[in-house]
Each structure stands twice: as C-alpha cells, then as structure tokens.
Structure 1
Amino acid sequence: MRSHHVPGLSLAIVHKGKTASAGWGKASLDPPKPCTPDTLFDIASCSKSLAAASVALLIDDDENYPEVQWDAIMSELLPDDFVMAGVGYTENVTVDDILSHRTGMPRNLRNLTVAAPLRSKYMYNNLIYTVVSHLVEIKTKKTFRDFLEENFFAPLGMGSTSLQPAEARKRGLGDRIGTGGAGLVVSSAKDMIKWVKILLHCEGPPITGRIFQGLVRLRTITEPTWRKAKPHTTPAIYASGLEVHTYWGQRVVSHDGSGFGFSGRFFLLPDLGFGAVILGNVEGTEDVQNIVTKELIDELLGVPAQERLYLRDFTKKKKSPKSAKAEKSLRPPPQAQKKPEESLDGDASKALALRANSRPISAGGKEMKPEGPKKPPSEPQTAPLNTHTGTYWHPGYHTLTVAIREGKLLIDAHDRSFGFTIRFEHLGFRKHLKSYMHTFP
C-alpha cells in the first residue's frame, strides 16, 4: 500500500462458507477515518454482475417473462427505446450481445456510428449496460433500485449496500463513505462478500445453479492477440457481467471496477469454494489488487514461495534506497507544490474531477494518445481563443460548451451520467487537421 500510495484498503474473504474481513489504512485523510470492512466504496463496474444477474432472474422466470431470453432481440423487447446506428444492428443485437460487450458500439447508441461489426470484437461499454437496467424497469414495472433491493440486497442481508451515494446518505450511512466519485452501487467489503458467497454456492434465492451457469457461460475473448500473457494464466473471456480465466489450472470468475477515487475487485474460484473482495480508495489500487489476488490464490493452492511470481516481480521493480533518495531530492519541497484545489477556479472537487478525467479515452477504455505531427506545430496560434468558444450541439453528445480555463479551451461535460472533460491543444491549421480528424470520432 505504501509503495503504490493506497491510503485505504478493505478485504473480505470466504472459504467453504466461512467469511472473514479486515481493513488497513485510512478511508479518509481529512478528516482522518480508519478504513474498515464496513467502509463504503463506490464499486463501479463490479456492479455489472448485479445488472446481469437481474436480467438472468427475468430469463429464469418463464411464467412472467417468457419473452426475455439470452438470445432475445433487444429492439423487440424495447421497441420504442432501443435504436443503434448502422444497418442490421437494431434488428439483430441480442440481450447476450449487450451483456458480453460485443455489440460493436464503443460508447453511445442511437446517434453515434458503430465501430466494429456485430459480434466481431470485444468492446467494453458502460453506457450500453444502462439498457439492461432499463429493460428490468420496463418489464417489472419497478425502479432498478427497488428491484436490486428486493431481489439481492434484502435477501442476502446486504444492509449497507445501495444504489448511488445519495441513497447511502439518505439511509444514514454517509459517514462510512470512504471514496470519491458517483457510480452505480455503493457497498462494503463485508457486504459484497455475501454476493460472492451466493455466487459460490448457488443455493438460491436469488442465485441458483442454472442462473449461475447462464452468467458464466463463455462469450467473448477480451484480447484475442493475448499480447500481455501472464504466467500460469489463460486469456480472459467475458461472460455476462463477469470475466472468466484460469490460474494454475483453476477457474477464476471475477470483475473489476474503478473510477475517480476508488477501485475494486471481487473474484471466486467455484471449484474450491473460495472468493474475495478487495476495495481501495484510489485508482492505483489495481496493482495492489493484482498482487493480493495472486497471493491469496497461491496460498490457497500451496504454491511454493519461489514460484509466486507476482509478489517477487513486484519486489524486483521497487527502487533501491539510493535511486529512491535521488528521485526524492529532485522533487520540489512540499510548500512549493501546487495544491490540486488551486488548479482551477471555484469548486475544488470539480477541479480534481477535471484533472482525473482529462485523458482522451479510446473505444476499449484505455488512454489514447493523439496521432499526428511529432514536433510542435510550426505555425503560432494567432486567432484569439474566444474565436472558438460557444455552445455546440451533437445528436449523440447533445450540448457541449467550449470555454476558456487556465488559458486553454476546455469542454466540461460532467453534467451527464458518464462525465468527461476535453482539453484542446493548438496543433496548427489546415495541413495538420486531416491527420487528427480520425482520432476524435
């Protein structure tokens, strides 16, 4: 945690029906609060398993929802709402396609062009999962929040879990929130391990063996080239709100989630009755999660210390005291460092959000570096910045306002479900424009 600058970490494990949990570090630095197994985190994309399981419950209920099936055409289930650009997509995208990220759509729906043929490529998509919750609401005539509460949170005794941070505060749990950001589900390690436990044992309700097999059926290879092969590990295959791979020959079912100020993972080994939840309050927690995950499994399997590659490789990468001291000497003294809240006028939390979300993102969710001229533009910027300011409109992104912040052109689009920031840099004039056009769809 010290090496990766993770202030707080919460861990819960289950093994053969027994659970244990612990917390380390701080949930909050100001005011200082300890991180415990009850600390609340925004679990981000870890909640996709709950969304997929919600649909699986409808599929399993043949009496009330016979039309809802894995291979059902989504536009037939939602004839007034589900529309995609391109020929053949609206007419053919199924429930399974959406849950396994193979619709060919990287971000939005109706008014943005598709980026790949249907079922040809894994393209992780947050927004398209909102179609899933909408389907549940339309078919059950209940809010998605009420459906989760009635079918998962209440039956499993997940009393600290709720939809959206505002709901957690409404229930008097605000003092236990240890993260920033606003995602779908707020929970704790102690609560989430109950979800892992029901997935492990499938004793129902809500999860039966048939439902679990539907959720973990292999659907989409996430990285066909397998460029980042890891020792003793097979490529991940996306199922339905869950990923599946093997490690040391054991099937591992999991999902990660991260955002501004939080990062989480849960995983389970169905054949060994073991699972865990790891939650942290910075995005850098992923490295710690990777090490802890492999160490837990290695310990469970009795892997000899000399063969535990992940912790050993991490130790090798640590800087020597001499290099760490030299690097530290190059840093400015604490009083000379600019505080994040001073970087923009107004709301400090908004400034932090803008910084965290200012990287351009590709269709696959990775950071994308613009292509184009490698050298600085030869033409100076002559037109005043206010030449470009104003309000613009796009059918997919709707209203976008270009303003001037810190001497740069900026779009602050945090007023929507998945907020983002665009910062503009001067590149040149017409002769440079063509090489950059394809970078920004």
Structure 2
Amino acid sequence: MASPFTTAFDKLVDESFKKWHIPGASFAVVHGAETWTKGYGLAQQDPPKAVESNTLFYGASTTKAQLCAAWALYMSSEANQAKPKSEQVTWTTPLADIIRDDFVLSDPVRTLQVTLEDAVSHRTGLPRHEASYGYEGVKTPKEVTRNLRNLYLHNELRTTFEYCNTPFVAASHALETLTGKPLVDYLRETLWSPLGMNDTYGGYGDASAAVEKEGAILAKGTVWSKLPTSVDEADGHLAEEEYMDLSEVSGAGYVISCANDYAKWMRCWLDPSSGPLDDAMIKELWTPRSIVQPNEVYNELFEGLSAYSLGWFVSTYKGHMLYWHTGGLIGGGSYVLLCPDIQFGVTFFANVQDASFKLKGLAIEILDAALGIPEATRTERTLVDQEAVNLYTKIVAKAAGAREKLFPSELEMQKVPLALPLKAYAGTFVNIGYGPLNLTVAQEEDIDVLKCALPGTWRNDLLLQHVNAEHWIVSRSSASNPWRALLRAESKVGSDGKPQAWGVAMEPAMPDILTWFERTT
C-alpha cells in the first residue's frame, strides 16, 4: 500500500472539515511494516498553531483498551503468578474480592457477582449515570467507585450491553490497589515506555506538565454552536472549550496522546513481537463478551451484529474482522480501527465535538484502499457520513417530541398553579449519589425558569420550566453544546409550606425513575 495521504484524500479531509466545522485533526496509519502519520488544520486558534503528528489530543474512551491491556499484563506478572492459585486475579475474579470495602452496588447480591470482565465489557447492568461524578467528594477513581452504592441499577447482570464508564473506573481503582501505583505510572511502566510512547499521558495534569516544560501542543477542543441538521446551521460559530482534567474517569477515558504514539499502540496489536502483549493476551482481550443490540449506533456500517470484548468493539466488514473503539468528550473525539487480517490500523484525533462520528468515513476510506477496493467503487465513506447526519436527525426529532411523550395529556390538563412563587423553589438540594443541585431563578427566551449548573465532569446546565402543579420539564445541555435532552421533574412542598425536595430523571436510560434531592438551604 502506498501512502494513504494522497492529494485525493487531502481533498476529502478539506471537504469534511468544511462540512463539520472541524479546526484540526491528526491521522496515523499502519499497514504491514509501513507507518504514515499526518496532521491537518489547527490545534489552537489564537495564536494559530498547526496540527502535527506529535500534537497532543484527548484519546478519551480509546483509553479503555489500554486499561484492559494493563490488566492482562498484571495477570501474567510475577506478582500475580506467585500467589496461590486460588488468590490469583483472573478476568472472572469478582471486583469485590479485590476492593471489598470500595466496590459496593445498591444490590448486595450483584456486588458479589460482578467480575472484572463484567466491569470492562459493559454488562454490569449499570446505566451511564454520567452526572454522578466529578464534583467535590467524587473526584478520584476511589471516590467514583465508592459512589456506585448510591446509584440505581438498570438491567440484569450479563444480559444487556449497556455502555457505562464507571465500572471501568472501578477496574482502574482495583488495579491501582493491587499494584500500589497510580494507573498512569503502571501504564507508563508496562505499555507506554516499552512501546516508546513517550508523548502519552494520563489526564490533563500529567499532560500539562509536558506542555509547560517541553513545549508540547495540546489541541484546544471546540463545539459548533448549531446542530448539523438545523436550518440555521451555517449561522453557528465555533466555541472553544476548557481543557478537561478527566483524572476522575481514569482508565475509562483519560489518556492524552498523539498520532505518532498511537501508531506504535496499533502496531503492538497487529505484530505482538513488537510489544509487551503476546498472542494469548490479544486473543483473550479480543474475545467477545457482550452482544451489541441491533438498534445501537455502534452496529451501523458493519455486517450483522457487533460485540464488545475487553475494551474493544468487534465487528465484521466485507468479510474481515475489525477491532475498534470511539472516543468522545466535550469538544473532541478519537477513533482507532484495526484489521489484523491485512495487518492494518488507522486512528485519528480531532478537536471538535463528536469527531468520532464526523470523521469515521475517512478512516473507512483508508481501510477500503488497504483492502484494494477501487476508488471509483468506494461508497462506504458517503454512507458513514449520511449515518452521522441521520444520528443528528434522530436527536432533533427525539427532542422535538419529548415534551409530548413526557406529558402526553398536557393540553387537556386541568391547569394548577405552583403552590409557591417560583423564587421559593430556588436553593441547594442534595442527593447522596448525584451531589448538589443549586437552583437559581433565570430567564430563558423571556420565560422565568429555574437554572442549575451541574458541577460534575460533563458540565451540564439544567433549565427547569413549570408544566403543571408540581410537575416540570427539564432541558439539559452544556453552555456551548447544541445537544439537548428533555427530562421530567417533580417538586415536593413540605407540611411547613416550603420546598422540601426535587425529583429529577437524571438518568436518560431510566426516564421514569426520579432521583430525589433533599433541601439543605
């Protein structure tokens, strides 16, 4: 295969950048013994700094495969193998056996049943609960793990693929407990240093030290202020996002790296002789554990159903097995795809929201070239781009119809006013699992509402608008992110005539379950 970064490909990148308002991206491709990397566009706007192949980007959830690889290396380590057989850690070891005091779920039976492989294959039964961490008191992997006892379970154990970050955080904390080392140190010792990944870091704190001392460039995340399917999409603007620390999510998504280093990371999977993972480890790590439901976005493009192994999605494409993973955060995204049949891998990083969907078609274009598909007959890139548009169309349609689904009889309701003036409902309310809800009175499109900036990792704003009696509709979004979710809420007035509590459907996967926040002020 010749260099994938042809004039024709550069043109496709330019078209994608214009279509999706992408400031910059970097790519790495490995095929056989060859490696190519290239940067496009800007890593930062002011002052302008071009993307190079060593420009740092957030790897986000592509971290998960690195956590699982580190666990595989620990299991084969002398420290683990020297233990009596009954005490050695394996993928089927219950997490509670490793971190008994910290790993406790709301169901005591489930607590004892969840194994390490359950935690890192999205089959624990926990939903995302993304607003439940990152605030004061739940800002370390240990604290995030200990908070799981305060969160609802959703599905039965090992019955349903349900993407969830927090069990990976618990697995990270368990590895730190066993090794006595911060995860970043163990990853650097067992993976990054042996592979020569010298520009890879764990969290913003680790990366910022390199930025300050060595002059490394960390790409600045951005969000386009309008959804791609909006009629006024062209009137949007590019908003820069603050750097995210992400140390609290640890092995679920905190790695910061570059195209050069991820080329080395991909190669160690395609050619085990080049790195610390052997054939047996790779086979185990790539063995599917969960079947991804047919309606999941992860199945799009690929043949049949996809599965999830240990930190990797597993799919079939044109008769070839693929192992891949997306990564996403506020203002950025990443993607890694491996095709061992042809000793091929492609990765990209970009500094725009939802980049893993917006640029996936370019990764597929490079894969098709490696598979020898003539350029004139390559249609999948266009299909992938359309799938991204379809995804946004579904989001907009879901949001547009959410109010009617949440309150189907609103037009026929007997209108009952609030028991108290709106300002009386402001104040601080706390839930043990989700932390504080600090409500203030605000105006949104000339309507008085209650507003709350959630203090967690994902920086969401809640806008609560009265519907009827003590029932409310909640719009959840971040300040510059056009994504919105509509939820329902209830207020509860006590016998003393004061607001006593708020119930908010904080977990979108469980829209009928209210999380109750009790008043503190």
For structure 1, the 5+ residue unaligned runs are 320-358
Q: Distance in 2 between matches of 1:214 and 1:425?
A: 50
CA deviation map 1:310-354 (0-9, x unaligned): 2344788999xxxxxxxxxxxxxxxxxxxxxxxxxxxxxxxxxxx
% of aligned pairs identical? 28
Q: Which residue of 2 aligns with 1:411?
A: 452
Change (3 A) 1:314 1:153: closer
Q: Distance in 1 between matches of 2:440 and 2:45?
A: 33
CA positional deviation for 1:428: 1.8
Which of 56, 74, 78 is matched with 2:95 structurally? Answer: 74
Change (3 A) 1:134 1:315: closer
CA positional deviation for 1:128: 1.7
CA positional deviation for 1:368: 11
CA deviation map 1:226-259 (0-9, x unaligned): 6886456232211011111011011111111011
Q: Distance in 2 between matches of 1:17 and 1:273?
A: 9
SS class of match (2:219): coil
For the pair 1:144 / 2:183, whether they are aligned, the reply is yes
Letter in 1 for 2:107: G
Q: Distance in 2 between matches of 1:9 and 1:419?
A: 24
Change (3 A) 1:186 1:240: same
CA deviation map 1:178-207 (0-9, x unaligned): 133423111111111111111111226421
SS class of match (1:277): strand
Q: Distance in 1 between matches of 2:27 and 2:109?
A: 45
Change (3 A) 1:288 1:187: same
Q: How does 1:366-377 map to 2 (within 5 A)?
A: 369=402, 371-373=405-407
Q: Is the 8 A contact 2:328 2:353 kept in 1?
A: yes
Letter in 2 for 1:63: Q
Q: Which residue of 2 aligns with 1:6?
A: 22
Q: Distance in 2 between matches of 1:233 and 1:12?
A: 25
Q: How does 1:344-383 map to 2 (within 5 A)?
A: 369=402, 371-373=405-407, 383=420
TM-score (norm 2): 0.69
Q: Is the 8 A contact 1:5 1:284 kept in 2?
A: no
Q: Which residue of 2 aligns with 1:392?
A: 429
For the pair 1:269 / 2:309, whether they are aligned, the reply is no
Q: Which residue of 1 aligns with 2:72?
A: 56
TM-score (norm 1): 0.81
Q: Is the 8 A contact 1:216 1:244 kept in 2?
A: yes
For the pair 1:240 / 2:310, whether they are aligned, the reply is yes
Q: Distance in 1 between matches of 2:334 and 2:326?
A: 6
Q: How does 1:4-403 map to 2 (within 5 A)?
A: 4-61=20-77, 62-64=80-82, 66-107=87-128, 109-171=148-210, 172-173=213-214, 175-180=216-221, 181-182=243-244, 183=246, 184-203=254-273, 205-225=275-295, 230=300, 233-313=303-383, 369=402, 371-373=405-407, 383-403=420-440
More divergent stretch after superposition (117-126 vs 421-430): 421-430
For structure 2, the 5+ residue unaligned runs are 1-16, 130-147, 222-242, 247-253, 390-394, 474-486, 490-504, 506-511, 516-521
SS class of match (2:18): coil
Change (3 A) 1:24 1:46: same
Letter in 1 for 2:55: T
SS class of match (2:333): strand
Q: Distance in 1 between matches of 2:194 and 2:44?
A: 31
Q: Distance in 2 between matches of 1:50 and 1:83?
A: 25
Q: Aligned-pair RMSD on alpha carbons?
A: 3.2
Q: Distance in 1 between matches of 2:300 and 2:430?
A: 44
More divergent stretch after superposition (230-239 vs 214-223): 230-239
Higher strand share: 2
Q: Which residue of 1 aligns with 2:462?
A: 422
Q: Distance in 2 between matches of 1:81 and 1:211?
A: 28
Change (3 A) 1:310 1:381: farther
Q: Is the 8 A contact 1:101 1:122 kept in 2?
A: yes
Change (3 A) 1:20 1:178: same
